[in-house]
Amino acid sequence: MIYDRSLCWLRRDLRLDDNTALSVATHNSKKVFIVFVFDICILKKLQDEDDRRITFIVHSLRELSSRLREKKSDLLVRIGNPIDEIPKLAAELKVNAVFANRDYEPYAKTRDIKVSNSLLVNGIDFKSYKDQVIFEYPEIISGQQRPYRVYTPYKNNWLKNLGPQHISDQISNFKTLSTISDIDKHSINWNFSILGFKENLLWLEAGEAAAKKRFEVFKTVENRYFDNRNFPYIEDGTSGLSVHLRFGTISIRQLVRSTYKKNNIGVKTWLSELIWRDFYQTILDQFPHVANSCFQVVCDQIEWPGKNRHFDLWCQGMTGYPLIDAAMRHFNNTGWMHNRLRMIVASFLTKDLLVDWRKGEKWFARKLLDFDLAANNGGWQWSASTGCDAQPYFRIFNPITQSKNFDPNGNFIRHHIEELSGFSDRRIHWPHDAGIEEQNKAKCLLGSQYPHPIVVHAIQRKRAIELFKEVKS
């Protein structure tokens, strides 16, 4: 069916290239308008006026607008509740259909149903498409015709089913885009102050062009991914694309296309990480209770005895465990954390400090630039041993051993905890064994310039195991 006028609603897909909804809309419409809505239902929940995600979105939208103006079109922006704004704009523009890419979060699914119903009342079609994942449920299902609960068989089935048709480039027909004159009268002023936020510094460049540039850089080192991915001090050890994937400034299909038929361990390992992303999206989609509860329902019986004071010190990077503190300070300063460190700090909070994983998850949700509910929840529940295919509760990261293994020379620690920089490579992982003479030489007095450890790992490990045994037995 060819529509006279259509509206393409961008959400987690802030790009023009390889965008499924945009491609379908522009090939099946005589004229296409593009809109992004700053959702006040989401904005009002953000606690920090300098939330980095707003900066990333604004910068990405500015680039989108610039690219569209080169094509003699432009981006429409609205501020409000999409349940009201999309039907209202659709009526103003007199469109016959609204196109969008699917979102699997509980809030988004409910929102889209309400928007669709409202549009339908006015005789406007709502068309949604798979775009942010390669496979969605039920494309990949178990032998019992159910969603997978364990990653490895899911991954094997995912790889078995992958074909060129799943990763083809979704090319748009930009000739059907609305003209600037079409949309000028529907435009509104929008900036940080109107949104109620302040611009913040980003550790990476926003937008589609920056995403492609970063990806091209990563491809030059992808063969080393297996060897480098666990070491946070290696600058190009990971792709750095998680933020771009979250906001859709790059297509997941483009990334997977680049791995197709490649047979080196670096690329295959990186592809596995992309598959984890699909897996967690399916888990959230099919088991929405995980957004607030344990995937393993029995684990909701755990009474976490952790102290609020310990949680606050963990947030601040003041636990007395150098790698934990370096990771948290870096996180607070940038809004990003290396995946290995995410696992280590999550394990420490839940297994050493015995704090409910939901508190850590919420802190990450507040501060992460690349926050994605499915991935964040999945990672936290994996570390806490409450999720699907989770780390066994008796396997608990030793933060000192992890530090020695993955920051062997203390480079990452020194960079983010200046007061410890004077300690030797051997001592920096655990400076608390240093005598007063060694502390003076390092110009760091423990207990005043750097905190004593707030817990003893060996003791807390035993407590954590007993805590889980009580509900698992």
- Of 61, 37, 13, 29, the closest CA to residue 177 belongs to 29
Assigned token pair, 283:
């888990």
Distance, in Å, from the CA atom of 100 to the CA atom of 294, rounded to the nearest integer, reads 31
- Active-site entry in 363, 380, 382, 430: 380
Write a three-state SS string for the chain.
CCEEEEEEEECCCCCCCCCHHHHHHHHCEEEEEEEEEEEHHHHCCCCCCCCHHHHHHHHHHHHHHHHHHHCCCCCEEEEECHHHHHHHHHHHHCCCEEEEECCCCHHHHHHHHHHHHHHHHCCCEEEEECCCCCCCCCCCCCCCCCCCCCHHHHHHHHHHHCCHHHCCCCCCCHHHECCHHHHHHHCCCCCHHHHCCCCCCCCCCCCHHHHHHHHHHHHCCHHHHHHHCCCCCCCCCCCCCHHHHHHCCCCHHHHHHHHCCCCCHHHHHHHHHHHHHHHHHHHHHHCHHHHCCCCCHHHHHCCCCCCHHHHHHHHHCCCCCHHHHHHHHHHHHHCCCCHHHHHHHHHHHHHHCCCCHHHHHHHHHHHCCCCCHHHHHHHHHHHHCCCCCCCCCCCCCCHHHHHHHHCCCCHHHHHHCHHHCCCCCCCCCCHHHCCHHHHHHHCCCECCCECCCCCCHHHHHHHHHHHHHHHHC
The residue from 199, 205, 273, 419 that is catalytic is 273
Is 357 a catalytic site residue?
A: yes
136 is catalytic: no
The burial of 349, by beta-carbon neighbours within 10 Å (0-12 exposed, 13-18 middle, 19 or more buried), is given as buried
Instruction: Please identify which of the residues 200, 339, 398, 405 carries the catalytic annotation.
Output: 339
Catalytic-residue membership of 380: yes
Please tell me which residue in 9, 158, 270, 276 is annotated as part of the active site: 276
Range 180-185 contact pairs with CB under 8 angstroms and sequence separation of 24 or more = 180/69, 180/72, 180/73, 180/74, 182/31, 182/33, 183/33, 183/73, 183/74, 183/76
Residue 204, φ and ψ in degrees, nearest 5: -140, 165
- Sign of torsion, CA 18 24 28 33? negative
- Active-site residue, from 190, 304, 398, 438: 304
Is residue 304 annotated as part of the catalytic site, yes or no?
Answer: yes
One-letter amino acid for residue 206 of the chain: A
Question: For this structure, is 363 an active site residue?
Answer: no
Q: Does residue 203 carry a catalytic annotation?
A: no
Q: Which of 270, 314, 357, 382 is catalytic?
A: 357
Do residues 295 and 388 make contact, with C-beta atoms less than 8 angstroms apart?
Answer: yes
Indicate which residues carry an active-site annotation.
Answer: 273, 276, 304, 339, 357, 380
